[in-house]
Structure 1
Amino acid sequence: MPGTVVTFYSYKGGVGRSFTTANIAVLLARWGYRVLCVDWDLEAPGLPDYFRPLLGAEPAAGVVDLVDDFLAGASQPGAHITRLIGEGGLDLLAAGRADARYVGRVQGIDWEGLYERGFGEYLEECRQQWITDYDFVLLDSRTGVSDIGGICTAHLPDRLVVLYTANLQSVQGAVDIAQRANEARDRLPYDRPRLTVLPILSRFDSREEYNRAEEWRRICLDETKGLYHDWLHQAVSPDAMARQLTLPYVSYWSFGEQLPVRDEPRPGPDQISYALETVAAVVAHDFDRTDLLAENRDAYVGAVRSKKHQFRHGVRVSCPRSTLDIAAELVKALGELDVRANLSLSGDRTLLTRAEDDARHLCLVVDREMSRWQSAELELFLHRTVGQDRRVMPVLTERTDARVLPGYVRNLQYLRLGPSLGPAEVAREIAGQLAGGSGSSLLDLLRQTTRARLRPARWFLVDEILRDLFTADDATADELAADLALAIRPRGHDDDRVPAPPGVRRALESAVKAHEEATLRKESGRP
């Protein structure tokens, strides 16, 4: 899949555009994406100052060198990339080398003349190379109306992020540029779809003058609401989304060029990195699944954080102190089966906010009942699991009654420790499930089929339906399938009852058939 070019633009200066671009780039790179940041604000370049802690050396070249390459008749664009260190696959294409010649080089560029000589086709080659090498190319554009602004807002991007502050010049200028960009794209000799635009209210302080802040929220929404129609889910109001896409003013971060996302790895709602994570997640989701964002912001961010996340462990084994020895044996046995596992011992619930999401799957060793720690650990795991191939695998001691477990855990396939099933045998069962060798994982298969369309608030309802579907006769199965379709229907659907969509119904039928065939093979001893 080719990468996506996203331009960050502001009509006026002082809105935090470069600040936002740099921090979003760090987040995307941290989440496992390959990211290139391009500093197109040639008159006032600033990205190298934000990336100073990540620079091994000063940029030796940049965008202005692309112009020189073209004028020199280069057969293909030069790279001129500066590698950044410490944040995954993050690279920088600076404006140029910051030396005594730089200002003169910029002032000597005749953009109109360049395009007449074929520079547009040359930039297309640059763009093609970038989207081949990177998942995201983030352009930090110059402010105002300019030739460079046209390159960044009309020619190069797939998506446009416009930042504005709560004044009419800023917001109306941003909306006007978005409209001009789409009109300009219609005249380009390149195949470009309509530009989708993400409006961001930046440096917004609602803490002291609350009434005036709400008044200006309304004014800004009235000016920008037309920008939401091309991408916002029909069940989500522009007002609800605009509140998610607001960057608060935090005076601490207004001094110097800083990257708060590096100092706030697990931010709370009152921290600016929390809002930056939300914007980064919208970019990573390609402006999609906004109904999930409106309903469960943490799940929305967690989905993209996990998509490219490289887990250090395959399984986290969570246990209370009463089963510590058993859990330790289980971790050891999993390791011998080439399943990387780590141990999580129940403790202070507040520690969970600082817990690293370092294992793909969660194994809960439950003794009598789930501890409060395990309940909180499970809740946190589920928040980070929406739409991902990650499993919860309960292991119950002999004295644990499954009926006292929470609904979601009770409905999962669980393993029971006993005389014939010790830690080593449980490890083999878990390894088999993760390798796809267990024929009894129908519930997991059905959940994976539906979760892409499933709202988190419906998890428990759908789990109950799936559980009952196993023991239902044909007539009841039809009714339950309709219940399932109702539970996962698109938000805003007005019908009280909807038939099972053909795709869901076929998936259910094929999953049941696969389960039956696997059971027959197991009973007959065939592989």
Structure 2
Amino acid sequence: MIFTFYSFKGGVGRSMSLANVADILARRGLRVLMIDFDLEAPGLEQYFPITPSRIRNHLGVLDLLLSYKKAMSRGSNENDVEPTFSSLSHFIVPIYPSLPHGRLDLMPAGLREGTTALTAYAVNLRKFDWQDFFFNWDGETFFEWLRSSLLRPTSSSEAGQGYDVVLVDSRTGVTELGGICAYQLADVVVMYCAANHQNLEGTRDMVRDFTSSKVMGLRRDRPLEVIVVPSRVEQRDPSLLVTFQETFKALFERYTPTPLVNESISFWDLMVPYEPQEAFDERVIAAAQNDNRSTRPIEHAFERLADAMSLVAAPSSSLAKARQIKGLSDEDQESAVFEQKPQYDLTRRFAPFDAYVSAPSNHDRTVIDQLVSYLSESARLSVFYDNVAGGDRVFPHVDQTIRRCRTFLICVGPTGLTDSWQQKELGIALDAATIGGGIRIVPVLLPDADLAAVPESLKQYAWADFRDGIENPTALEGLARSIRSSQTAQIEPTIDDHPPYRGLAAFSERDSRFFFGRGKEIDEIIDLLRQVFSIVLVGPSGAGKSSLIQAGLAPMLRAGRILGSEKWDIVSVRPATESLATITREIRKIVRHTILIIDPLEEVFTHRPDDFERRIFFKELDQTLKDQPKIHKVVMVLRSDYLVDARSHGLNVDLSSTAIFPLPVMSANQLREAIERPAQVAGFAFEPGLVERILADISHSPACLPMAQVALERLWKERREGWLTNESYDRLGGAQRMLSFSLEHFLSSANPSDRSLARRIVGYLVDLAGDTYVRRRAQLSDILQSGGQSSQISELIERLVEAHLVAVDGTPTGTFVELTHDYLLASDTTLLKWLEEDRERIRFLNFLRAEADEWQKATGRDREGLLLRAEKLTRATTFLAAYRDSLAADEVAFIESSESARTRRRARLVISLLVLLTVLTSMLAFTLWQKSVATSGQLRSEQALNRVNELLARTGVTLASPDGDWLFRRDSSGYEIINTHNAKVRLSLGSLPTISASAFSPDGKFFAAAFDDGSVHYWNLRENDTAGRALSNLDLARQLTFSPSGRLLAAAGDFQLVVWEVNDGRQALSLPSTSRILYLRYESDDLLKFTDVEGLEKTVDVRTGAIVTDSIKPAGPLVDPRASTGSISYRVCVGEYQRACPPTDVFLYCGSSVSEWAQARCSSYSLSQLSSRDGNKCGYSVVQVACKEAR
């Protein structure tokens, strides 16, 4: 609603009443806007404890009107640009931006600070033609738009929109401005009438005018109520007072609005008495007085007027709902939270600094830094010191900051006050001290200061003398005392001995006024208790279960929220304080109607080690509650991870009489309420942005509530002049840093045995994501089973839970433990030091857990395939020997099963090799027999060896896997791979082209083969992989080998080396060679060594392709084992295609000279033709070179 405050004559206290009523309504939680429409004599800002020049330097009503006219005069091509006048926030300035609930803003008369601005304001006001504005500029439409914009419900963040109440200070007398404020803007006109004939008659005439049919026509029959207030009525002459009262009632009683009549309120009841002091001071009373000052009649008058205005408002409006708490129903009064009067300056958004330090820019900064360090750290004062260069400062920022300070320290060096920025800063401070009187100026003489250079304007102030040195303790302590003496005397709230934040302690019933954020859950629990006999409140550690019951539910039950509960006793018991038998015995003795609370129930398990005693307790408790008629309701509080234990020990959860209430995690809005509202009730405020910072710091933590409470408890101790400040939060390190302090304190106070156990527990609660530590939810059973000491580990976890460093949560799938915040892994703590020392162990442990988990989930033959092999198994067995205590039973079983499988594989391999050896021995004997009976002497060793090879081929076995699981063989039908466990064929390659090379991976998972058509394939033997994967072709691959991890596959072809990634078949390396590669092996996954037929040995870095080493083997040239003995011989194959030559032969292309090749290597040699074949070009020939003396 819009209320226009009007008076026929001036001097009746109209503006002062408006300011006080605005203050009252804003403090009641309403969004209130004042409009200073007394353009010829403005000054509403004078009534508030703010700097008037700040308001006068702001756009206002006259600027809004001129902006509208300017916008309306633009051409149509500019209509797409939003005119300035429509952004009302540009013309509104906050007065009380930091009220707990409401807000008070002002639209001043206009920009008029300074001679130039005031002259322009006067000229614009004098030239403004109201008739022209209405007839030529559609003024009526403008004011209708203004009405709707100010009162329209909106979700916009514009400061000037969506007000509950607008109070307009109108011009006196019969003026166009008065008519606009009443005729067009107002819903209600509040008229002030002083005790003299001119006021009575003039007010009577204006009331008749405002209620006339002519005005109703102008308003299009929109109702206009009138409230007439007798004002500044002298009380000392009773007879004159009675005469004025009779005349006033005769003139105005008939106009009393119906809502006031229904409440038996007359206009005379709204009388504002005359008080000389207030007539002189003209300040808002609530902001000016101290708490120890009694309430005066004029204050009651303003409160009555605010109530009367609320009565004439629509019943559903915010104004009607904001009447004083005496108007609440009895039920609402019982549940209402009575808040302390704000202890902070409502006109500010931030706490003031204790001191602002102004220092010359050309002075030694070390001295200034020492001074600031002492004041802020040792004296614990809030000090603002901007050490940027003067030219980099922003003047409005400096202006606002200085006005926020209690003391202005002007540092003076040897040249006096010659710095231009210091002069500006001093000018602002002097202006603030003169106008508002809220800042104290203290000159500080630096060690090299010249007293003669101190300006005369500063010599009138008491200075701080550091000419003997900045380390002077007497001078420092004196300066600190001086700054503290300038602090505003803070009225300590009555709750100061009972702070609104409880840290890690639970809220008690005594703290109920500070308990917020769980209203929805309290209502749901009360509804449940109306239906059942008992409830079990279940939630994770740190969820606020006890606080909800003690500070939330108990007061509601005492207030009678359940029929008759206001007459019941509330008895709360803790299993840790008495024996379980004593508890049940005391319950039986209850003789009054009672609500029984058992909180926390998990203490039956954490403090009572005797399992038999626990079972007896639950059994007797169930029977006692059934037999005890005086107990009407039972509430049990239980940590969720103990619900299964409680049920197994006999906790009765019969759904017909007992309800389990799982307490949900607090939402962001609930957390905000739990953080903000206790401070508001205590009369304190958070600086802007601080609540958001706290919420951001505690987000994603299962212990967000205790984290917030710990931070808030410490922040409360650092409060300053009614504010909880960003500076204090920074100094304390934030919620996360405070949590890490708790961790360090816990570990430093723990004995060596507990520290060792804590380190083991942490190993379960941390994962490595790349190089970053992250929290991990671990099964409590896994931690307790590791390495014994389960009772000690359980006890230590309980202590970590109590310190809110870890959280425990019971779910249907098990009980889980996790660290409460990621910051514990990111900060410089003992925990991080442990993690860095154990990084590789944690990395392998995480791998092992994942593999063991997959193995546990698998069944049948799949389990066998998931066991560890080769290098991974070797490392796992080493790990088991060193860290068995860190492994859960399942993980130990996984490693031991892998070892057993390896033992079985090796046994099978030994048997297979023995059989193979037997076959080979038989064939060799047969071959030797053939040689001994040969009639021809032309069978040489080469022919004999070839015969052995032929016989080997007939056995079919050509290669066995390193783990002994597979044999690669060839028979008449082609190639196949056989499983040594069951002798079944795993893979049949059929009649594929001839295989030139083959290899198994070290763990036996993959098999690779190269064919004489140049193709290379590989297969995954542990999956149903029959197609395999084809890799890029080579000319002919003669060597294949896997890297130690099985991740890479290398092939050596004719003058080419290629490496592939096994997981995706991508080519990782292709390297040319100057001659054929004979031997190929991995040094490691990254280093590959190969040797060519010329004896050149090289090592290549697979990652980069760079040759790491390059040398000639000491053994000299390679010797063909089939060459004649007694001399160094080579077999040289000359042909068109290298694939036609045996892999051990030196290959030369067609046209090459074998003699030239031999001359380069031998001082003397002989050549002999071994074989030849005609071809398209040069055919094929093999020449033996006997090198008698190698070069």
TM class by shorter chain equals 0.5 to 0.7
Q: What fraction of aligned residue pairs are identical, expressed as a percent?
A: 26
* Structure 1 residue matching 2:259: 3-state secondary structure: coil
Residue in 1 that maps onto 2:38: 41
Q: Deviations over 1:134-166 (max 9, x none)?
A: 111100000011111110111101111111111
Contact 1:56/1:85 (<8 A) preserved: no
Tell me the C-alpha RMSD between the 2 structures: 4.5
CA distance in 1, matches of 2:598, 2:220: 59
Q: Aligned letter for 1:153?
A: A
1:113 matched to 2:113? The reply is: no
Q: Which stretches in structure 1 are left out of the alignment for 5+ residues?
A: 314-323, 344-359, 361-390, 397-401, 403-408, 426-520
CA distance in 2, matches of 1:301, 1:164: 32
Q: Aligned letter for 1:148?
A: L
Residue in 1 that maps onto 2:232: 203
CA distance in 2, matches of 1:82, 1:418: 53
Q: Deviations over 1:24-49 (max 9, x none)?
A: 11111111111111011111112122
Residue in 2 that maps onto 1:279: 305
Q: Deviations over 1:227-280 (max 9, x none)?
A: 104432346263xx522x011111111114311122347785633222111212
Contact 1:15/1:165 (<8 A) preserved: yes
Which of the numbers 202, 212, 218 marks the counterpart of 1:173?
202
Which of the numbers 65, 70, 91 marks the counterpart of 2:105?
91
1:236 matched to 2:273? The reply is: no
CA distance in 2, matches of 1:193, 1:413: 53
Residue in 2 that maps onto 1:186: 216
Contact 1:25/1:138 (<8 A) preserved: yes
Q: How does 1:473-512 map to 2 (within 5 A)?
A: none
Contact 1:143/1:149 (<8 A) preserved: yes
Mark the CA change 1:168 to 1:113 in structure 2 (over 3 Å): closer, same or farther: same
Mark the CA change 1:93 to 1:302 in structure 2 (over 3 Å): closer, same or farther: farther
* Structure 1 residue matching 2:283: 3-state secondary structure: coil
CA distance in 1, matches of 2:109, 2:60: 5
Q: How does 1:349-498 map to 2 (within 5 A)?
A: 393=556, 395=558, 412=566, 414-417=568-571, 421-422=596-597, 424=599
Name the structure where strand makes up a greater proportion of residues.
Answer: 2
CA distance in 2, matches of 1:302, 1:17: 33
Residue in 1 that maps onto 2:86: 77
Q: Deviations over 1:78-100 (max 9, x none)?
A: 42112224663111111111212
Q: Which has the higher contact order (CA 8 A, sep 6+)?
A: 1
* Structure 2 residue matching 1:45: 3-state secondary structure: coil
Which of the numbers 99, 113, 129 marks the counterpart of 2:149?
129
Contact 1:8/1:140 (<8 A) preserved: yes
Residue in 1 that maps onto 2:1041: none
CA distance in 1, matches of 2:278, 2:106: 22
Contact 2:55/2:108 (<8 A) preserved: no
Mark the CA change 1:26 to 1:87 in structure 2 (over 3 Å): closer, same or farther: farther
Mark the CA change 1:418 to 1:165 in structure 2 (over 3 Å): closer, same or farther: same
Contact 1:19/1:258 (<8 A) preserved: yes
Q: How does 1:237-252 map to 2 (within 5 A)?
A: 238=266, 242-243=268-269, 245-252=270-277
How many residue pairs are counted as aligned between the two chains?
350
State the 1:394 CA deviation. Answer: 7.1
* Structure 1 residue matching 2:299: 3-state secondary structure: helix
Q: Deviations over 1:357-404 (max 9, x none)?
A: xxx9xxxxxxxxxxxxxxxxxxxxxxxxxxxxxx975759xxxxx9xx
State the 1:524 CA deviation. Answer: 8.1
Residue in 1 that maps onto 2:286: 261
* Structure 1 residue matching 2:86: 3-state secondary structure: coil
CA distance in 2, matches of 1:282, 1:412: 35
CA distance in 2, matches of 1:522, 1:216: 73
CA distance in 1, matches of 2:555, 2:240: 47
Which of the numbers 160, 164, 183 marks the counterpart of 2:189?
160
Q: Aligned letter for 1:250?
A: E
* Structure 1 residue matching 2:250: 3-state secondary structure: helix
The structure that has the greater radius of gyration is 2
Q: Provide the TM-score with structure 1 as the length reference.
A: 0.57
State the 1:300 CA deviation. Answer: 3.9
Any runs of at least 4 consecutive aligned residues in structure 1 with deviations exceeding 6 A, and if so which? 309-313
State the 1:298 CA deviation. Answer: 7.5
State the 1:170 CA deviation. Answer: 0.9
* Structure 1 residue matching 2:191: 3-state secondary structure: strand
Q: Aligned letter for 1:112?
A: Q
Contact 1:395/1:417 (<8 A) preserved: no
Q: Deviations over 1:421-469 (max 9, x none)?
A: 25859xxxxxxxxxxxxxxxxxxxxxxxxxxxxxxxxxxxxxxxxxxxx
CA distance in 2, matches of 1:271, 1:86: 28
CA distance in 2, matches of 1:56, 1:423: 62
State the 1:282 CA deviation. Answer: 2.1
Residue in 2 that maps onto 1:215: 243
CA distance in 1, matches of 2:140, 2:132: 11
Mark the CA change 1:69 to 1:96 in structure 2 (over 3 Å): closer, same or farther: same
Contact 1:69/1:78 (<8 A) preserved: no
Residue in 2 that maps onto 1:470: none
Contact 2:92/2:105 (<8 A) preserved: yes
Residue in 2 that maps onto 1:494: none
Q: Deviations over 1:396-423 (max 9, x none)?
A: 9xxxxx9xxxxxx999454433665258
Residue in 1 that maps onto 2:790: none
Contact 2:49/2:287 (<8 A) preserved: no
Q: Aligned letter for 1:194?
A: P
Mark the CA change 1:131 to 1:82 in structure 2 (over 3 Å): closer, same or farther: same
Contact 2:557/2:565 (<8 A) preserved: no
